[in-house]
Amino acid sequence: MLNECMNIIFVGHVDHGKSTVIGRLLAETNALPKGKLEKIKSFCERNAKPFEYAFLLDALSDEQAQGITIDIARCFFKTSKRKYLILDAPGHIEFLKNFVTGATNAEAAFLIIDANEGIQENTTRHAYMLSLLGIKQIVILINKMDLMNYAQPVFDEIKSQVDSYLKKINVEPVGYIPVSGRQGDNIASLSNKTPWYLGPTTLETLDKFNMQLIDEKQPFRMHVQDVYKFTNSGDNRRIIVGQINSGTIRVGDKVIFHPTGKLSTIKTIEVFNAPPCFSARMNQSIGLTLHEQIYIKRGDVISILNQSEPMIASILKVSLFWLGKNPLKLGKIYWFKLGTSKTKVVVDRINHVLNTSSLEVIKDTTEIKANQVGECILKLFTPIAYDNVSVNIAMGRFVLVDRYDITGGGIIVDHIIDDKALLQKKLSSRNFKWLTSDISLEEREQLFNQKSKLILITGDCEAELRKKIALKLERHLFSLGKFVYFIGIGNVKHALETSDSSNLNLADENLRRFREVLNILLDTGLIIIATAAKISSEDLNLIKMTTSHDNIFTVWLSSNTNKTELSEDDILYFNISDSLDELLLKINNLLQTKQNETLYSR
């Protein structure tokens, strides 16, 4: 049992004594490094400060000076049953983001309440957010009972108030313990000052928490973190790396990559600095190699064939908390991250905002302010794979990023079926049935000395100009010895035209066929130059979904580069007032430097 390590977080309003309780727990159980206690006491004497057990945790100088916890303090601790990682979360509202960081890694929590002050704003906020993050094992420590002469009526009154609030948010606490962190009452041993309390001590309660069990029958999930290649050392393997979120995987298992639906078989399971193994399970960081080489990327989710699969969606109903300095705005675009999956997202609707203290519901609002909780509808630019939080909490948690800052997070409550999700389902079915060549895309790229890419030339200019640019660019790359091919949407339209088109939306069907042809051509390792009129952001997203390809450059040709449906991240703008040769030179130069990677060579 001692090999087990459980993550426990201590939370509560500022100055309610979290760090003191933890410090006392460490001191009472002789878990401190040798000389640590004496060092802190000596420091306090030299600086004429009263000794606080909290100083054993508050390592930052600002924290000791102000007597508050700013960052998440971490310490290891063990009992005869198992090891623990103790997380001391900050109580100040300004550091709520630090609290969330610690809580997402915890399996159980102690919520500390000052017996003198009672329930405060952050008491209810922290309780609600623990519930939102899926932490079910919560114990309430009513601290500083020494200040209230260990009076049972004080304890009972606070217990009644907390019980009333927790029932409203569907949280059933494991228990309530009257304690004094400063005096050590009911921390490691029962106190004779609270003869009316006959329950377990804080230390005993720790060992009664249940760890998240490693269930081999739980469906396998692993987010792809990256794909490693060590070609410089003569190793031609493509190693798919990540941490197993749930379940077990074995050599020979057939696996599906979501949301694309691509299928392959596990060839080997690699572990860092150790021989390959036959199987791996939850929480292990591993590398996988495949028998059938397919194109996958960071953010894909792996499941095992014939096990329950994750849900695929692009419109999500979510419950989220907001931490940003600026409010979350209706219609604003953010980044959505779940595991290693990442896509742009727009806030489509705010159903309501919740006051976590009073549980008052505020409707008809267009924003969520800092430290508020809300229920929203989010529209993702590309579909993601997720699980219900009741089944797999980590596969249902997400964060929102504004520019470079994590500004919010929450859980997925449900999803709404839309055309994009239906298309992804069809594409997954297509990929599942696809007959894969024994020659991988990487092998073709290595032989051709180039990366497979799509250069999509579009805009509101004349079709003839798009074609001229495309053909000259094709000739230029061909003269450099590159394997390149031009195709226009008109080629696809005329080549695959059906005699019975009465039931088809021809514009949509032509775009669908165009996307499928591009998908086939990109798998050959070629550089594809394609032309189409006025491709929209939605069209471009559908092309990316259909091809599952990252290396797509879009060139917009127009007399007015300010008028386009495409965002700046998606496009290279060019004004047709430039000469044909000038346009070609600019396109050529930008394509070689875009995203700091070369168009032509590997």
Phi, psi of 290 (to 5 degrees): -115, 150
- Tell me: cis bond preceding 219? Omega within 30 of 0 counts: no
One domain for residues 411 and 556: no
Domains of the chain: total: 4
Is residue 142 situated within a structural domain?
yes
Q: How many residues appear in the chain?
A: 602
Query: What's the confidence (pLDDT) of residue 134?
Result: 79
Q: What is the pLDDT of residue 205?
A: 92
Interatomic CA distance for residues 216 and 279, integer angstroms: 11
Domain region containing 408: 311-423
At which of 149, 184, 208 does a domain end? Answer: 208
Q: Which helix (H) or strand (E) holds 111?
A: strand 108-114
Report the alpha-carbon distance of residue 242 to residue 82 in Å, rounded.
26
State whether 327 and 225 are in the same domain.
no
Last residue of a domain, one of 396, 423, 450: 423
Model pLDDT, residue 242: 95
Q: What's the confidence (pLDDT) of residue 150?
A: 94
Residue whose token pair is 């999500």: 316
- Residue 410 within any structural domain of the chain: yes
Same domain, yes or no, for 24 and 163?
A: yes
Domain annotation covers residue 51: yes
The answer to whether residue 326 is domain-embedded is yes
> Left, alpha or beta for 481 (phi > 0: left; psi -120 to 50: alpha)?
left
Same domain, 239 and 329: no
411 and 457 share one domain: no
| pTM score | 0.72
> Which residues does the chain have with pLDDT short of 50?
1, 59-72, 91-92, 95, 568, 595-602
Residue pair 457/464 in contact by the 8 Å Cβ criterion: no
459 & 587 share domain? yes
User: Could you tell me if residue 602 is inside a domain?
Assistant: no
Give me the pLDDT at residue 566, please: 54
Pair 182, 76 in one domain: yes
* Six token digits for residue 22: 């933890």
Residue 431 pLDDT: 77
Same domain membership, residue 548 and residue 589:
yes
Q: Is residue 578 part of a domain?
A: yes
**Domain of 506: which CATH number?**
3.40.50.300
3-state secondary structure of 374: strand
The count of other CB atoms within 10 Å of the CB of residue 541 is 19
The answer on 347 and 238 residing in a single domain is: no
pLDDT at residue number 101? 61
CATH number for the domain harbouring residue 250: 2.40.30.10
CA distance 579 to 469: 11
* Statement to judge: residues 170 and 24 lie in one domain: yes
Distance CA 528, CA 484 (A): 6
Q: 345 and 288, same structural domain? A: no
Residue 214 lies in a domain: no
Domain boundary among 252, 286, 304: 304
> Do residues 372 and 361 lie in contact, with contact meaning Cβ atoms separated by under 8 Å?
no
**Is the CA virtual torsion 105, 110, 113, 114 positive or negative?**
negative
pLDDT for residue 95: 47
Token pair recorded at residue 95: 């550091």
pLDDT at position 171: 86
Among all chains, which residue has been given the structure tokens 């900050």? 90
Same domain membership, residue 196 and residue 228: no
In a domain, residue 434? The reply is no
